[in-house]
Structure 1
């Protein structure tokens, strides 16, 4: 008895795949379940590493507050408002570190789910877009890390001279972690766009037709995501997002042109499986 069918069932890729690389809805759900389980397993490993590195991570996260208290001589500090708050924060920070550390793993799983029907000739693009997706995600996270200390300094600077600013540690750290992940995912969006194009779900002309909405949404997201009121921080996020969007549109248009030429060059009746 052949073992190809059980292996295909476990991986979500099998004989039920149609010639164009598409799968029935049940196969898509099974593929999604398998990818989510793989992401969860990687996140558990990354969280364990984050748990071990928690003292260093917490020191880095609270550094903006500490430096602000020293440089401006403000009475400002993080406040743990409950008995279980330190444990709760350690779990959250460990999960946050796990998401950052395992970003190559879950970005690959996302790419593999979005583009299951690539031909053999196109599958080498996985390495190319992994090489682009991971640095883009980390660049977005680094940009958020650069903006946030300035935001903390600006907002905390409104504290009156005779007042004490005790910042709730839960709110502060959750805010920082959400912003870092939001910036990273925003920079990862072009990779998803190109992946959908390579999977023949969305054509480049469709992405191009919505460029006005894309630019508007990029600036709206930047205005909401950046906690400061200055335009420099907003443009620091919105301009790279727009540039990455148009870069993804350009790659999608080139891919569509290449696919159209390949389709026109194929003799009638040629199966798409020949290229696989």
Structure 2
């Protein structure tokens, strides 16, 4: 796409060339960030292991430990962590490269709406990831409790890291709920009445999930339940604000004026005269009046 929206249109091959350049810049940025993050992969691994360490310390003996099941597993986990962190660190610059490629093909109103949309989506996702990390120790402790005298916890490091990343990704997506509701409300697929109608069901589901994934004390359950409930209420508020937005005022056409007078648009004068004559012919003769002499006695 042309860097200048007002410039000459590019050919198909020009677009492919710009796309190739954009993907090359994104690849270089990601690789550089990945190499830089690999030097910090030990610290990142310890950070992701901290919920397991905290949960195991709470449970005590029998909590189990993490193991390496393959000779290359430790190295592969380090590479995955470096790639995961590199994608996150390089994402702002990668989005900028994509924006330079896409923005010339957008209308002005689309360009104005895209940046706030991306900013809000990013903020909600990061908030969900941080919230998910805060409750990760409770979630890990819940799954560690299934060990018995005959069955011990021997999780592989790769499986645990995969579990952590999936949990963080899931909470990041869940926190996009207000934005999803905004889109559905704009499309007319969801109303605030629907969300209010199922509010009690949503609260019950939130409480059940909080009771399962947190310790039995009420404080821990509320720490997880209250943010999820506020997220649902925020979705209701977003839906209300969207439906309150005034729609575009359409000018009244001549056809609409004809409808208000009881005449269908597109009916010409001759058709209207024929309809009047047919109505006069079907009228009862006894009810006719003489326009020249009044009603005959």
2:44 to 49, 57, 65: 57
Render the CA deviation track for 1:225-253: whole Å, top value 9, x for unaligned: 99726765763564244234324424533
2:139 to 147, 151, 155: 151
Distance 1:86 1:128, change over 3 A: same
| Equivalent residue number for residue 24 of structure 1 | none
| Structure with more relative contact order (C-alpha pairs < 8 Å, separation 6 or more) | 1
Distance 1:161 1:252, change over 3 A: same
Q: Would you say the 8 A contact 2:56–2:141 is kept in 1?
A: no
| Equivalent residue number for residue 15 of structure 1 | none
- Match of 1:58, SS state, is helix
Render the CA deviation track for 1:178-226: whole Å, top value 9, x for unaligned: 01011112223433554x57xxxx7353232763798668986997799
Name structure 2 gaps, 5 residues minimum. 1-5, 255-297
Distance 1:122 1:226, change over 3 A: farther
1:191-210 equivalence runs, <5 A: 191=179, 194=182, 196=183, 203=186, 205-208=188-191
Question: 1 CA distance for matches of 2:106 and 2:97?
Answer: 15
Q: Would you say the 8 A contact 1:139–1:184 is kept in 2?
A: yes
Distance 1:87 1:98, change over 3 A: same
1:74 to 61, 65, 80: 61
| Equivalent residue number for residue 264 of structure 2 | none
Instruction: Point out the structure with max Rg over C-alpha.
Output: 2
1:219-230 equivalence runs, <5 A: 228=213
Q: What is the deviation of 1:107?
A: 7.2
- Match of 1:207, SS state, is coil
1:126-205 equivalence runs, <5 A: 126-160=114-148, 164-191=152-179, 194=182, 196=183, 203=186, 205=188
Q: Would you say the 8 A contact 1:140–1:180 is kept in 2?
A: yes
1:245 to 222, 235, 238: 235
Q: Would you say the 8 A contact 2:196–2:236 is kept in 1?
A: no
CA RMSD of aligned residues (A): 4.9
2:8 to 1, 4, 8: 4
- Match of 2:250, SS state, is helix
TM-score by length of 2: 0.58
Question: 2 CA distance for matches of 1:83 and 1:3?
Answer: 57
- Match of 1:167, SS state, is strand
Q: What is the deviation of 1:37?
A: 4.8
Question: 2 CA distance for matches of 1:63 and 1:172?
Answer: 12
TM-score by length of 1: 0.62
Distance 1:247 1:111, change over 3 A: farther
Q: What is the deviation of 1:68?
A: 3.7
Q: Report how many residues are paired.
A: 237
Name structure 1 gaps, 5 residues minimum. 13-32, 269-276
